[in-house]
Structure 1
């Protein structure tokens, strides 16, 4: 494999000289080991994972992204990704090696130029992805220490979406849309059922947990069978209407094209129980 570009200590852009196919190779210390070399063997024991670029992902795109990155950003991103893998206990999607440093570089640019970072889905992200938010907090500290800049909590929320995206392969943009869907569902519940849910209350935490569980069933394609769906729709029409609209929004966010009405029925039941036990 011909080495085209080294991305930090752990990633190398390569081309197969026989097939001309382009690959991204991953391995701890692989980038460092390839410095000063022109080729790397396909069976090199240091290669932990390889990702073949398709025709829609030209090597030039990745090379241009790397060329624009601050070396310090690449270094801290490498360390963050290694920390993510350790704490998540799973492999990460290869694209995080490019998406994360590009996000960090843009965030640092905004912060250094006095531009505010506002995250309208911060609370939903904290409640919906608690592990990812905890990991993002560690990442924020690593960025602060390396780049000598204060990282606000709103930015930590955006980092948490990158952590989640790396683990589940769902694009960050779709995760942001999902967080928006959670927020919109809470507002639908308030309007439709005539209540106001304080964003720092136990009731809010319970409601978000119900909604997140329903949305995750779509993300994981569980397709639960609900034999009581018709009964629930007739007995709790307000709750069912809210649940059905919310599930459609979540399906759009996730690119899900399957049936949503069974899960909408379960969410409607959860919303009804929530209202019955609602604590102001």
Structure 2
């Protein structure tokens, strides 16, 4: 059983403490701070989450947040982060304790002031990260219920980005760029095929899913293989879709400064063909 010495009781559910090795950390757990004071000993039984914020700058940021933010927001944020972690197999980057807590505080402030921030990439974000978006949807519902506020739908997308950032260690801006990229690709597809895309169309969702996995393969330096004859068939039978696929690939390469294998173009062309054929039917 691990023992901690309390440095400061932040709320009834959050304390600042050190372990036996004098490592400072934040402990989270229902009621662990109730009636506790500095130098009291706390055992690990009821500790649900621990984060250390090894980075000194992040320690300072968190300390500043403690002095400026309502303790009720700290409590609900820690509960939300524990909930998010319970739904994922990948550990969350500790920075989420700063980034998401600050974002939740901003949501509450904007709602009370009647302000709303538009999220032009909501659907693209949800399409790229459906599992994380579902968790974010539940987070928003929980915040609305516990804080008695009505939260704009676009916040689901913003919270999704925070979750993805915490499990991928990719920057928030990098993830936003991918969502922006999908908006650009969608417009090109609509212009070239002279149609309006139904964002819930299963064929379109499959195309978006392929693009997401393509980007993940590139990040892992993995390549996708295709039967030798498939590329020839696609080029000869569906040249317009193959050319459009190449156009999309060039946009992705330019926007993200990456190199994409020709095999990916073939599969994108195949998705485009299926999508267009379904919409013509």
* Same fold, judged at TM 0.5 (above): yes
Structure 1 distance, partners of 2:5, 2:254, is 47
Structure 2 residue 33 is matched with structure 1 residue 32: yes
State the match for 1:242 in structure 2: 248
More contact order relative to length (CA 8 Å, sep ≥ 6):
1
Matched residues in 1 for 2:181 and 2:35: separation? 44
More displaced stretch, 206-215 vs 126-135 = 206-215
Pairwise CA distance, 1:162:
1.8
Distance 1:16 1:225 in 2: 50
Match of 2:74 in 1: 74
- Give deviations 1:40-79, integer Å, cap 9, x for gaps: 79x9785965545335x25322211222222111111111
Q: C-alpha offsets along residues 244-276 of structure 1, whole Å, 9 cap, x if unaligned?
A: 312443x36xxxx6x433574355334443355
Q: Would you say the 8 A contact 2:119–2:157 is kept in 1?
A: yes
Equivalent position of 2:212 in the other structure = 212
Larger Rg: 2
Root-mean-square deviation over aligned CA pairs: 3.7
- State the alpha-carbon separation in 1 of the partners of residues 51 and 20 from structure 2: 12
Contact 1:119 1:154 in 2 (8 A): yes
Instruction: Name the CA distance, whole Å, in 2 between partners of 1:187 and 1:130.
Output: 21
Pair 1:97 & 2:101 matched: no
Unaligned runs of 5+ in 1: none
The TM-score normalised by the length of structure 1 is: 0.76
Relative distance call for 1:111 and 1:33 in structure 2 (3 A) is: closer
Distance in 2 of aligned mates of 1:269 and 1:6: 58
Q: Give SS of 1:12's match.
A: strand
* Distance (whole Å) between structure 2 residues aligned to residue 101 and residue 198 of structure 1: 34
Contact 1:161 1:176 in 2 (8 A): yes
How do residues 242-261 of structure 1 correspond to structure 2 at under 5 angstroms? 242-249=248-255, 251=256, 259-261=259-261
Look up the match of 2:139. 139
Q: How many residues align?
A: 268
| Contact in 2 for aligned 1:140/1:156 (Cα 8 Å) | yes
Matched, 1:53 2:54: yes
